[in-house]
């Protein structure tokens, strides 16, 4: 998640037609004329759509982050990973090289230096959880398994996602209950094996809102959170809406079973018991608390009052992540 001041900054450059001189500077590296790019959203990165590109009825997407963003340094690693996965046949949105033949461009803009990539649009439509069928859940799980299988050995430049969760205890030292829970989860993680069958390159955010379905087949996008971690941690994050803090629920158990069955059709998943999924859900939540801290510490930076709704949502999200950490530590 970028700082709210960065999100507010780009929002203030967007006109009534959703154009921005910042996006124009980026789009020019892909040969697009001024005014082509239209603002789509800003969260982990700024996203602008390039409608009718490269031909009528099609679209591409620009993604870029400011120099101060955590993902700035590894933007190239993420783009390279996506390019190699596309070359290996994974169903994902493929990077588009710039006019200079680069996967990633570093661009000076009116708001400072950004790092950018361009991606093809994913075919099909996103599916909300209430509309998800068991067959689609099975395909979702299978695609995550293929991602893990095909990404093996492609982790150069990616961080170890959960190695830093102990920082959550330091950042929240005044919250003794939370700090103690984080310490307990950190100790449990230290004992987990990291052999290649269990640990490798993960997507990091393989939820339904990062997939598009066409004729029942999903395509993945948004690899911003790609990292090295336990495959079961990637599963725990992907299916968190199908569980209660990592624990299967009766309501969504058929969908969860279908997801896990689809995954296991492609590769083994030895660490999918509820206890471990709960532990890893808690670890993922602790990681979110670490990532949220610099954002929440700058809530009033530049007084981005146009983002009050986002600010409130992030505060609720922080509180929910705290609850997940406490629940997981209680089961650890």
- CATH number at 56 reads 3.30.200.20
Give tens-digit pLDDT for 172-200. 999 999 999 999 999 999 999 999 999 99
The residue from 120, 147, 173 where one domain ends is 120
Q: What pLDDT score was predicted for residue 139?
A: 98
DSSP letter, residue 254: H
Q: Supply the range of the domain harboring residue 97.
A: 4-120
- Nearest residue to 140 via CA among 129, 151, 150: 129
Q: Are residues 284 and 305 in the same domain?
A: yes
| 298/25: higher pLDDT | 25
The residue from 59, 90, 120 where one domain ends is 120
Q: What is the pTM of this model?
A: 0.93
Give tens-digit pLDDT for 32-70. 999 999 999 998 899 999 999 999 989 999 999 999 888
What is the C-alpha separation between 199 and 233, in angstroms, rounded?
9
pLDDT at 332 over 90: no
Q: Which residues of 216-237 are buried (b: 16+ CB within 10 A; e: fewer)?
A: eebbbbbbbbbbbbbbbbbbbb
Provide the domain count of the chain.
Answer: 2
What is the C-alpha separation between 225 and 77, in angstroms, rounded?
11
The mean pLDDT of the chain is 93
Count helices and strands in the chain by DSSP H and E runs: 10, 12
Q: What pLDDT score was predicted for residue 197?
A: 94
The residue from 57, 90, 120 where one domain ends is 120
- Nearest residue to 224 via CA among 110, 115, 102: 115
Q: Are residues 98 and 134 in the same domain?
A: no
Q: What pLDDT score was predicted for residue 301?
A: 53
Q: What pLDDT score was predicted for residue 144?
A: 98
What is the C-alpha separation between 172 and 192, in angstroms, rounded?
25
Give tens-digit pLDDT for 106-157. 999 999 999 999 999 999 999 999 999 999 999 999 999 999 999 999 999 9
Residues 6+ apart with CB under 8 A from 270: 197, 198
SS3 call for 38: strand
From the number of C-beta atoms within 10 Å of its C-beta (0-12, 13-18, 19+), residue 195 rates as: exposed
């Amino acid at each position: 998640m970028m700082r709210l001041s960065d999100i507010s900054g780009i929002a203030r450059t967007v006109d009534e037609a959703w154009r921005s001189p910042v996006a124009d500077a980026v789009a020019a590296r892909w040969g697009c004329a001024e005014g082509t790019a239209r603002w789509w959203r800003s969260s982990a990165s700024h996203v602008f759509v390039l409608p009718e590109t490269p031909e009528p009825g099609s679209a591409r997407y620009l993604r870029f982050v400011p120099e101060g963003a955590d993902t700035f340094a590894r933007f190239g690693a993420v783009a390279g990973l996506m390019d190699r996965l596309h070359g290996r046949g994974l169903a994902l949105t493929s990077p588009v090289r710039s006019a200079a033949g680069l996967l990633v461009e570093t661009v000076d803009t009116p708001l400072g230096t950004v790092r950018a990539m361009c991606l093809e649009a994913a075919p099909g439509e996103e599916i909300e959880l209430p509309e998800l069928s068991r067959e689609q859940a099975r395909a979702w799980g299978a695609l995550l398994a293929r991602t893990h299988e095909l990404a093996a050995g492609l982790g150069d430049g990616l961080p170890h996602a959960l190695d830093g969760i102990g920082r959550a205890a330091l950042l929240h030292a005044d919250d003794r209950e939370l700090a103690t829970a984080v310490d307990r989860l950190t100790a449990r993680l230290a004992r987990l094996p990291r052999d290649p069958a269990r640990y490798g390159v993960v997507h990091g955010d393989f939820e339904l809102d990062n997939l598009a379905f066409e004729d029942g087949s999903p395509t993945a996008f948004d690899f911003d959170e790609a990292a090295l971690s336990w495959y079961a941690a990637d599963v725990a994050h992907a299916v968190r809406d199908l569980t209660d803090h990592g624990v299967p629920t009766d309501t969504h158990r058929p969908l969860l079973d279908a997801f896990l069955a689809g995954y296991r059709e492609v590769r083994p998943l030895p660490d999918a018991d509820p206890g471990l999924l709960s532990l890893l859900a808690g670890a993922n939540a602790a990681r979110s608390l670490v990532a949220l801290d610099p954002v929440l510490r700058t809530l009033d930076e530049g007084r981005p009052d146009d983002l009050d709704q986002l600010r409130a949502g992030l505060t609720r999200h922080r509180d929910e992540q705290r609850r997940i950490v406490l629940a997981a530590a209680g089961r650890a």
